Amino acid sequence: MAKTYVIDTNVLIQAPNALDCFEENNLVLPLVVLEELDGLKKAEGERGYNARQVIRSLETLRCSGDLIAGVPLKNGGTLRVETNCVHEELPESLPDDKSDNRILKVCRHLLPEHPILVTKDLVLRLKAQILGIEAQDFSTEQVSAGTKQYMGRFECFAPEKEFDKFTAEGIPVSLLYQCDEEGQPLPVTLYQNEFILLKADASLRKTHLGRVWGDRVIPLEYDKENPYGVKPRNAGQYFMQEALMKPASEAPLVIVKGQAGTAKTFYALAVGLEKMLNHPTGEYRRIMICRPNAQFDSDIGFLPGDEQEKISPLMRPIMDNLEQLMDEDEESRYDDEMELENRLMEVFDRNLIQMEALNYIRGRSLEKIYLIIDEAQNMTPNQAKGIITRAGKGTKIILLGDPHQIDKPFLDERTNGLSYASEKMKGSPLCCQITMLPTECERSPLALEAIRRL
């Protein structure tokens, strides 16, 4: 039996193709949603772009029939615009002049059809429940939560006799296993490019680090490298170094998730500088850095100066990492800050590093670029798709972030672009992923202690 879904504006703004995701069911757009889309169509950035995209889709549907009576959708469902709910009664505490409450009026009007309100707004879902209206989040772009998300790394056992052959031949995936609570072997499911911490089953002190390729786990290729003088300090950093050092022809996409202090940004910059300065083979033309921020869509236009001056406050964390990389001596690094700043500016003056707002990436085709997207958890799934599809020949894209630290409204650890890209690219031979563990924090003893306790 077909269900009736009432769609909120924020669903369409986050996922412009949402109307195609409800299978053979009946969709209802309150008139106030059209008014909100009209108000957003001239907005800068992602929200305005998505609003215009939805409006164009609605215009195509309008030309195919009567939106008030209902028009068929390509997936077998129907869509109609509901206008006849002005006089529907709501509690006095819910004023009529608020858009959310006008949507609730539509839901109350449709109660005989048992409507389901679909919205990204948690408060609106709470108000709907108070009124006895079923409400749901838009789940099409949701991925698993917390530890159920793909981590890009795995620990398992290998037979002792095969373990000793690892560095020369690798180990067949079919021979690897885990153990249950009673010590019985369990088969494992591994994905292409997944990083593996191997343990010998007869001598647990023996370990190897490897990567799944084809039907085997093979040794790491770049474990002896020290990009820009940086040496890996834990298994996660060895895995991250492997993913970042691989050329764009083999791993054009790298996704690194993890908490603050696990050296995600630091390592990505170190490898980029190694490729551009220490061993400039021409692999990349420049390093490009973007940092999505909740302010970009609304406040960046009001900041003084040109594009670089507007985004410079938001890029300060990048500069902090560059300062550490440019001068390895922790004792005397800041003795002459003017000299340190001059060294940094030289890199920018030579156009080796370029910083851009995420808004201005759309429509570009990036070739031979080492592209770092920091704080990628603040991207929507649509933005993540837009960034990844910008990759031209020879470009390597690195998505960095912590899915638990999100600043953008209507996104969470299950719906942000970083987690979405991670789940959809799982197992791709062109993508390497790694999730850094909290215990792999290297920022400072205090940072590690805070991760453990707070």
Query: Residue 145 above 90 pLDDT?
Result: no
Task: Kindly report, residue by residue over 148-180, the tens digit of the pLDDT.
Answer: 899 999 999 998 888 888 988 899 999 999 988
Which of 108-122, 162-176, 338-352, 362-376 has the weakest average pLDDT? 338-352
Q: Which helix (H) or strand (E) holds 84?
A: none
3-state secondary structure 228-282: HHCCCCCHHHHHHHHHHHCCCCCCCEEEEECCCCCCHHHHHHHHHHHHHHHCCCC
pLDDT band (50, 70, 90) for residue 347: confident
pLDDT in tens, 36-48: 999 999 987 778 9
Q: What is the pLDDT of residue 305?
A: 57
Beta bridge partners of 187: 177
Biggest distance spanned by C-alpha atoms of the chain: 78
Does CATH number 1.10.1760 belong to domain 145-219?
no
Segments making up each domain of the chain, as ranges: 4-136, 145-219, 236-453
Cα–Cα dist 135/123, whole Å: 11
Between β-strands 153-158 and 203-213, what pairing exists: parallel, antiparallel or unpaired? unpaired
In terms of DSSP bridges, do strands 203-213 and 216-219 run parallel, antiparallel, or are they unpaired? antiparallel
CB atoms within 10 A of CB 302: 8
Fold match, 145-219 / 236-453 = no
- Higher per-residue pLDDT: 147 or 264: 264
Q: What is the pLDDT of residues 92-125, one digit of tens each?
A: 889 888 999 999 999 999 999 999 999 999 999 9
Through-space distance between the first and last CA atoms of the chain, rounded to whole angstroms: 48
For residue range 48-82, list pLDDT tens digits in order: 989 999 999 999 999 999 999 999 998 899 999 99
User: Is the model's pLDDT at 5 over the cut of 60?
Assistant: yes
Local confidence band at 389 (pLDDT 50, 70, 90 cut-offs): confident
Yes or no: say if 33 and 9 are a contact pair by the CB < 8 Å rule.
yes
- In 3D space, the residue among 380, 358, 306, 390 whose CA is nearest the CA of residue 44 turns out to be 358
Which residues make Cβ contacts (< 8 Å) with residue 98, sequence separation at least 6?
A: none
pLDDT category of residue 394 using cuts at 50, 70 and 90: very high
pLDDT above 70: residue 332: no
| Residues recorded for the chain | 454
CATH 3.40.50.1010 fits 4-136, yes or no: yes
- pLDDT of 263 reads 92
Point out the least confidently predicted range of 213-217, 319-323, 416-420, 449-453.
Answer: 449-453
Say what the pLDDT of residue 86 is. Answer: 80
Q: Which residue has the higher pLDDT, 144 or 422?
A: 422
Per-residue pLDDT tens for 297-328?
A: 445 555 555 555 655 666 778 888 888 887 76
The CATH architecture to which 236-453 belongs is 3-Layer(aba) Sandwich (3.40)
Return the H-helix or E-strand segment holding 326: helix 316-326
**Cα gap 195→223, rounded to integer Å:** 13
The pTM of this model reads: 0.82
Work out the mean pLDDT of the chain and round it to a whole number.
Answer: 88
What pLDDT does 314 receive?
Answer: 67
Residue partners of 104: CB distance under 8 A and separation at least 6:
90, 94, 117, 124, 127, 128, 131, 133
Give yes or no for a contact between 241 and 271, defined as CB atoms under 8 angstroms apart: yes
Q: Is the pLDDT of residue 387 over 60?
A: yes
CB 405 within 8 A of CB 431: no
Cα torsion through 402, 302, 387, 120, rounded to 10: 60
- The residue that leads in pLDDT, 27 or 443, is 27
